[in-house]
Structure 1
Amino acid sequence: MGKRPLLLLVCIFCWTTYSHSQQITWEMVEPGIWKGTVGTPEEFDLLKAADVTPRSGALAKMTPVNFPLDQEQIVAILNDRKTYLRFPLERGEQLFGFGLNFKTVYQRGSIKRLHVDHYGGSDNGRTHAPVPFYLSSLGYGVLINSARYLDVYAGSSARKDSPDAPEALDRNTDENWTSSPYSDAVEILVPAEGVEIYLFAGPTPLEAVRRYNLFQGGGPLPPRWGLGFTQRVHRLYTSEDVLSEVAAFEERGFPLDFIGLEPGWQSKSYPNTFEWDLGRFPDPLQFTKELLEKGVRINLWVNPYVSPDAGIYQKILPYTASHTVWAGVVPDLSIPAAQKIFWQPFRDDHVGIGVSGYKIDEVDGYDRWLWPDVARFPSGLSAEQMRQAYGLFVKKQSTALFREKNLRTYGLVRASNAGGTSFPYVLYNDYYDHRDFITALINSGFSGLLWTPEARASKTAEEWLRRMQTVIFSPMAMINAWASGTKPWSFPEVEQQVKEMAALRMRMMPYWYTSFALYHFEGIPPFRAMNLEEGFNDISLKNQAGSADLETNPYEEAVRKEVKDQFMAGPFLLVAPVFAGETSRKVILPKGNWYDFYNGQYVGNGEVIEVQAALDKIPVYVRDGGIIPMMAPRLHAPGLNEKTDLEIRHYGTQAGTFYLYDDDGITYDYEKGDFSWREINVETDRNGNLTGKIAKPEKGKPDTIGEITWKFMTDQP
């Protein structure tokens, strides 16, 4: 009995020794960006895995800002060999981000474990890109630079010593009682004895996102052909099948820029040889050459798990994990020697003969087939760290194959994370909910990601057309038909409407290309949430909260509706998808005059409008003064330095300016300064008429612009 007080004293001593606030050392690393260091951060982290260079020049041109939070309110505690972080929240402050979420836009009040995985239908943090970055509606962002599984309480945990603690209410009598009491902090648990924190100031949410993207090198600038149309064919197609499908696209007048080959192109897959199946593809070099001559490029499906029958198997074996995936070995791609062996057949037998890109599958989850967390890797990195960063490894290292040939690529990948913004890859998955695809597209812009709401199959012609309409207004216009075999014309009753939408995608290529250039050079997401748009206010939804069914579930509470079915595309366009079965929908217009994309008519200003859902059109609106450069419809994107004629559209009654980006469309020469921005101006002359002009091409700079015509879409008063 007499020993118990001593034991208690020892326990108290342990707590005070190992659970105490830590000094956070802050330093400005770029204008408007601060790095905070807590404890002893691990040697390996997400930014080291990505190994990209910030666009310091672009960051230096942004608005000067101060540190965005009260440093004294940012708390770090080390306990149990873990780092506890706390960041303050104000009342009314909303949070966005935490990676690729499919159900929700507002993240305040959520609890997540950020863990790379195949998406399972719930926004719980297990997703293809669980980026540990969140954005505040007050105009700042926070990145936790850790390659660990992170536990996040995003304004969902209430401390008893909080200066703004929630009031205890009586559920029996108080209608304001809630199962989620007010919380004044974001709290994050990092399973390591230190971590790096990055703060990105605004002053607006969009400016904070821009700094975040530019810190990671800016967004990717795809080749022009990457913004065209792509079809992925059945997994067991032969070279003859592929050529036949390409011919069908041309005969029917459907655009096609790159075609995706699924696992059957390999001699063996699941696990993979990465070698051509010479039965289905007897002459890969001639096959690739023939397609390139037709203006069509090849994208190859792979995952990184090496078959015992692969030519590289014995060489790669010493550099692989302790556990296998589908009986294939898992290369440790953090080791340079492993990288050299693994990517050699890609370099020689794919890129070397003209293959233009990859679809890198299954580097995300599920737990039942991906390497387990007990796996060991020869580099000494944990299985957890490898899982969080593997998507970054494959994106960076495969992109390097094309850089060696000075050719840009644009592909698909199943996992990403912080640090991966600049790599030319679009995320996808096997989930297939149309509405959730749009929510994911909206959320992607908060975390430096690209997401495609692909079309795969449909039960009705209406659903097919609606899916194709959203595909057109997305980072990659793709039909992923490896299982269904669906073609653009598979539903004859809407074939013409689908064809017109596909042609619109091609016509808008100058606008899309410039939008991606803005992503690369200025960090502006080409597809982004309305919450990042100037003049947007979702107050109209505050009184439209869903009602709770307390009989079915007495713990259910009404949840405020979110704007997760409309988004911004490029500098001027507001896109409001329609879903199968809808005859109308509401659209929230930001402040300022807005005009119909198709006919130029005025539709509203800072209000909610009701839109009739015409079958042949996806609702799209243009801000007053918006300028949309378009080219003639064509079956393939312009080639290297190929000139194209432009139709420049102007909407509304206000003057407008647009800087049209131009380069050779194929190579990385733009990184050496071989690019131009052509200023387009629309002004009112002294007679009250709108007139347009475009700057002359700069001497010695790319000039792929041919004849110019002007189209003023809105009748002038």
Structure 2
Amino acid sequence: MKFTDGYWTLRDGVEASCPVEAYHVTSDPDSLTVMAPVRRIKHPGDLTLGPVVTVRCTSPMPDVIAVEITHFKGVRPREPELPLDAPEPASVEVSVDAGEAVLTSGALSVRFARGDTWRMDFLAGGRVLTGSGANAMAVIEDGGQSYVREQLDLGVGQHVYGLGERFGPLVRNGQSVDIWNADGGTSTEQAYKNVPFYLTDAGYGVFVHDSGKVSYEVASEAATRVQFSVAGQSMRYLVVHGPTPKDILRRYTALTGRPARLPAWSYGLWLSTSFMTTYDEDTVSSFIDGMAERNLPLSVFHFDCFWMREYQWCDFTWDPRAFPDPPGMLKRLKARGLSICLWINPYISQLSPLFAEGQENGYLLRRTNGDIWQGDQWQPGLAIVDFTNPAARTWFADKLGALLDMGVDCFKTDFGERIPLDVAYFDGSDPERMHNHYAYLYNQVVFDLLERRRGRGDAVLFARAASPGTQRFPVHWSGDGEATFAGMAQSLRGGLSLGLSGFGYWSHDIGGFIGLPDAAVFKRWVAFGLLSSHSRLHGGDSYRVPWIFDEEAVRVLRDFTRLKLRLMPYLGRIADEAHTDGLPMMRPMVLEFPDDPSCAYLDTQYMLGDALLVAPVFSAEGDVRYYIPEGRWTGLLSGETVTGPRWVEERHGFDSLPLLVRPGTVLPFGAVDDRPDYDYATGVVLRIYSPPESMRTTTRIVTPGGELSAVFTVERDGGRTRVTADRPVRDWAVLLVGEPVPAPVHGAVAERVAEGALLRALPGALTIEAGGE
């Protein structure tokens, strides 16, 4: 929201009052409070005039400082508010003298200038990270509505990222962003997943701790500042110190929650019936048979809308015309090794048998006059479940529990963005703040049910709407994208932005949702989709089985699915990092290479974990241009090497894309390529790429559930390489990519392969000496 008319004046009707000095400072061992008048105090009469802004600083954890800006203290708190975790107590130091007032937490300090100048700075390592200067902080009146505004300095060459899953350019500089969930597809400024947290490459991030609408002007209204504002009389925001982008994410997610661990089967290929398609058990069986006949590994089958009867969404009852024997059908599908997912949403049509039940028991959102809130968009006369009512939460979960009893494994929690404001919640929650937070409660109810029934580590959703903290309940997918190359690029930008907003896992509809993709779009999207955290074939009004495109699409899907399954020992480790550190599996280049200025704007390529560079191809012809950071990188598919930093232009067939391994990587390759859940350590091949002359690195083999299977240590010292396992592992091997077989090799059987030297370890360890073929 913009309040000014250029640099000098305010917009018509806007009155802004800005602190001009830190007039009075008080402190205690845990906080620092500054009373800041908005006019100079020149004589005693000025003390009778307002406003006065109160700024209170505290620290919820080391290296994080919370700032509370208050105009009127008598306003009742507006609920709900996302509760923050406190993983470790902060030891705060406070000092006040005639020149300045400072609060320090860990390496981060906030400093207020005393005297005639208003200045609040955040410092780390003796360097100012950002700050709020003259005419930046303000309490504002605009047409009878009150706002609190803050503007934090943004230095030359500094970039802003995050603010949820946004589909425009990855760098937010120059953008206006409203944190307000909307069902707007992936091609506009609207977003399904809005998070009032931004991350910079200047050593800090900022989280506005507010569940309602937060408006951002990112180097837009004021070109040298990031502005954020909220309606009301107070605002609370937290400055999170890094210094690296990864450190910022670790601390932010320690406060707001980290993604749960997910079951191994969820990383395999998901196949859907698609959204608005007609199908029955025979259709489903034909899809699954077709996948099996073509040797296409399939892990999850998803039933979308029409598993329920038309006009009765949601009643959580199988349509008996299409599915006369749901328990038997699910049993037959599970006997084929498939997990089952069902589409749901939090809306109850008035034609659903559940409508009267929800109305009678107070489970549905009501208008302020007591009527059930209803609308006709999406389902005739639909109502919305009120998840602030504990009884409604139990009721909704019990309906889903009956489906779990039948054999269902997980749910796609669709919708949850179009939440109205003219309602009264059971617990008195503020409707404006519940508009976004509703997504958190909705997904929490379903995920908690799955964890109770299936156990931690075996619960998974496919969710669309999200708000701060909803990263706890994965997975999230991008929503309704266009079935074009442009739609594919939009989806990627959204996923990378979401990863920089604290979400560890992310997926998208392979081939796009809106419209039927042509064969080229589908095949290029397959490669991208199978090199994502989670991989799902899904569309809007058309099926997404590959053989409806062409036979090459079948081969492309087979090859990339099997590649992903062989990469599971590596993906298991980076999935564990999502849970333990809050780091996304799919990482913008700037997250891995924050000191490389060429990576700042890159949003058409990414790192899958810390070791694999992926550059999806966005053209039918296969032309692609991508950037390689410093070092000697190796193509995982081609074995060819290229040295960076440099830009590369290539042409790829549909069976290929730029997929490069970072120098010095020890990449574990699994022995199984037809399922994602297997013993990752047995038969693992450690592929060593462009190692330096001296190195010592460990490679952890971790299941997605967090179980440590083995730790391999690779040590190089001049001409000697030694690889050891920390426990007995059957049939493991080392592949020296692009290297001849050296001699002698101790503790291994060596053989030549196309890529280099395959050294199959005898029990214990192997040692490779330089000097020989």
Query: When the two structures are superposed, what TM-score results if normalisation uses the length of structure 2?
Result: 0.76
Deviation at 1:346, TM superposition (A): 0.4
Structure 2 CA distance for partners of 1:447 and 1:605, relative to 1, 3 Å: same
Alignment partner, residue 146 of structure 1: 210
CA RMSD of aligned residues (A): 3.1
SS for the counterpart of 1:375 is coil
SS for the counterpart of 1:320 is coil
Q: Structure 1 residue 262 and structure 2 residue 304: aligned?
A: yes
Q: Deviations along 1:402-439, whole A, 9 cap, x unmatched?
A: 11124322222221111122212212211220111221
SS for the counterpart of 2:453 is coil
Q: 1:84 aligns with which of 149, 161, 172?
A: 149
Q: How many residues are aligned here?
A: 634
Deviation at 1:78, TM superposition (A): 3.2
Equivalent positions of 1:146-165 (< 5 A) are 146-158=210-222
Q: 1:402 aligns with which of 427, 450, 459?
A: 450
Q: Distance in 2 between matches of 1:116 and 1:503?
A: 36
Q: Structure 1 residue 28 and structure 2 residue 59: aligned?
A: yes
Partner AA of 1:359 in structure 2: K
Q: Distance in 1 between matches of 2:538 and 2:523?
A: 15
Equivalent positions of 1:277-288 (< 5 A) are 277-288=319-330
Q: 2:266 aligns with which of 202, 223, 226?
A: 226
Segments of 5+ residues of structure 1 without an aligned counterpart are: 1-9, 159-182, 365-369, 542-561, 698-704
SS for the counterpart of 1:363 is coil
Structure 2 CA distance for partners of 1:617 and 1:12, relative to 1, 3 Å: closer
Structure 2 CA distance for partners of 1:292 and 1:531, relative to 1, 3 Å: same
Q: Distance in 1 between matches of 2:454 and 2:80?
A: 29
SS for the counterpart of 1:259 is strand
Alignment partner, residue 524 of structure 2: 466
Contact 1:536–1:606 (8 Å) recurs in 2? no
Partner AA of 2:214 in structure 1: L
Q: Distance in 2 between matches of 1:242 and 1:11?
A: 61
Structure 2 CA distance for partners of 1:226 and 1:540, relative to 1, 3 Å: closer
Deviation at 1:55, TM superposition (A): 5.2
Q: Structure 1 residue 682 and structure 2 residue 714: aligned?
A: yes
Partner AA of 2:518 in structure 1: T
Q: 1:342 aligns with which of 379, 391, 396?
A: 396
Q: Structure 1 residue 475 and structure 2 residue 533: aligned?
A: yes
Alignment partner, residue 651 of structure 1: 689
Alignment partner, residue 555 of structure 2: 496
SS for the counterpart of 1:483 is coil
Alignment partner, residue 25 of structure 2: none
Q: Distance in 2 between matches of 1:507 and 1:628?
A: 11
Q: Structure 1 residue 273 and structure 2 residue 315: aligned?
A: yes
Determine which structure has greater relative contact order: mean sequence separation of CA pairs < 8 Å that are 6+ residues apart, divided by chain length. Answer: 1
Alignment partner, residue 200 of structure 1: 240
Q: 1:618 aligns with which of 652, 657, 663?
A: 657
Structure 2 CA distance for partners of 1:12 and 1:518, relative to 1, 3 Å: closer
Structure 2 CA distance for partners of 1:635 and 1:243, relative to 1, 3 Å: farther
Structure 2 CA distance for partners of 1:339 and 1:532, relative to 1, 3 Å: same
Alignment partner, residue 42 of structure 2: none
Equivalent positions of 1:405-420 (< 5 A) are 405-407=453-455, 408-420=458-470
Partner AA of 2:389 in structure 1: I
Partner AA of 1:636 in structure 2: R
Deviation at 1:53, TM superposition (A): 4.4
Q: Distance in 2 between matches of 1:15 and 1:216?
A: 34
Deviation at 1:46, TM superposition (A): 4.8
Alignment partner, residue 373 of structure 1: 421
Contact 1:96–1:107 (8 Å) recurs in 2? yes
Q: Distance in 2 between matches of 1:186 and 1:210?
A: 22
Deviation at 1:270, TM superposition (A): 5.8
Structure 2 CA distance for partners of 1:21 and 1:627, relative to 1, 3 Å: farther
Q: Distance in 1 between matches of 2:347 and 2:89?
A: 40
Mean Cα deviation higher: 705-714 or 516-525: 705-714
Q: Structure 1 residue 455 and structure 2 residue 510: aligned?
A: yes
Deviation at 1:576, TM superposition (A): 0.8
Mean Cα deviation higher: 38-47 or 200-209: 38-47
Deviation at 1:574, TM superposition (A): 0.9
Alignment partner, residue 701 of structure 1: none
Q: Distance in 2 between matches of 1:387 and 1:115?
A: 8
Q: Structure 1 residue 712 and structure 2 residue 733: aligned?
A: no
Decide which structure has greater strand share: 2
Partner AA of 2:507 in structure 1: T
Q: Distance in 1 between matches of 2:557 and 2:90?
A: 39
Structure 2 CA distance for partners of 1:152 and 1:256, relative to 1, 3 Å: same
SS for the counterpart of 1:606 is strand
Mean Cα deviation higher: 317-326 or 410-419: 317-326
Equivalent positions of 1:35-50 (< 5 A) are 35-39=66-70, 42-48=77-83
Structure 2 CA distance for partners of 1:466 and 1:21, relative to 1, 3 Å: farther
Query: When the two structures are superposed, what TM-score results if normalisation uses the length of structure 1?
Result: 0.82
Q: 2:633 aligns with which of 589, 594, 597?
A: 594
SS for the counterpart of 1:592 is strand
Partner AA of 1:149 in structure 2: K
Deviation at 1:292, TM superposition (A): 1.9
Segments of 5+ residues of structure 2 without an aligned counterpart are: 1-14, 19-36, 40-47, 92-104, 113-119, 122-130, 368-372, 741-769
Mean Cα deviation higher: 216-225 or 454-463: 454-463
Structure 2 CA distance for partners of 1:600 and 1:220, relative to 1, 3 Å: farther
Contact 2:627–2:646 (8 Å) recurs in 1? yes
Q: Distance in 2 between matches of 1:110 and 1:406?
A: 43
Alignment partner, residue 370 of structure 2: none
Alignment partner, residue 767 of structure 2: none
Equivalent positions of 1:95-244 (< 5 A) are 95-119=160-184, 124=189, 126-158=190-222, 183-234=223-274, 235-244=277-286
Q: Deviations along 1:340-379, whole A, 9 cap, x unmatched?
A: 11221101x2122221111111212xxxxx3443333333
Deviation at 1:269, TM superposition (A): 4.6
Q: Deviations along 1:614-643, whole A, 9 cap, x unmatched?
A: 33111111111112222234333326x797
Contact 1:306–1:328 (8 Å) recurs in 2? yes
Q: Structure 1 residue 362 and structure 2 residue 411: aligned?
A: no
Contact 1:455–1:467 (8 Å) recurs in 2? yes
Q: Distance in 2 between matches of 1:129 and 1:210?
A: 20
Contact 1:95–1:108 (8 Å) recurs in 2? yes
Partner AA of 2:711 in structure 1: E
Q: Distance in 1 between matches of 2:17 and 2:579?
A: 53
Q: Distance in 1 between matches of 2:684 and 2:17?
A: 75
Contact 2:244–2:594 (8 Å) recurs in 1? no
Contact 2:680–2:701 (8 Å) recurs in 1? no
Q: Distance in 2 between matches of 1:484 and 1:706?
A: 45
Partner AA of 2:161 in structure 1: F
Q: Deviations along 1:293-336, whole A, 9 cap, x unmatched?
A: 21101110111111345454334222322322431211111221
Q: Deviations along 1:242-284, whole A, 9 cap, x unmatched?
A: 2332222122110111111011111345631112222322232
Contact 1:220–1:516 (8 Å) recurs in 2? no
Partner AA of 2:225 in structure 1: A
Q: Structure 1 residue 563 and structure 2 residue 572: aligned?
A: no
Deviation at 1:580, TM superposition (A): 2.2
Deviation at 1:470, TM superposition (A): 0.3
Contact 1:145–1:197 (8 Å) recurs in 2? yes
Mean Cα deviation higher: 243-252 or 470-479: 243-252
Quote the sequence identity (%).
22
Alignment partner, residue 608 of structure 1: 647
Q: Distance in 1 between matches of 2:140 and 2:563?
A: 57
Alignment partner, residue 167 of structure 1: none
Contact 1:312–1:341 (8 Å) recurs in 2? no
Q: Distance in 2 between matches of 1:119 and 1:513?
A: 33
Q: Deviations along 1:545-599, whole A, 9 cap, x unmatched?
A: xxxxxxxxxxxxxxxxx31111111121111111123443222122233221224
Q: Distance in 2 between matches of 1:291 and 1:502?
A: 20
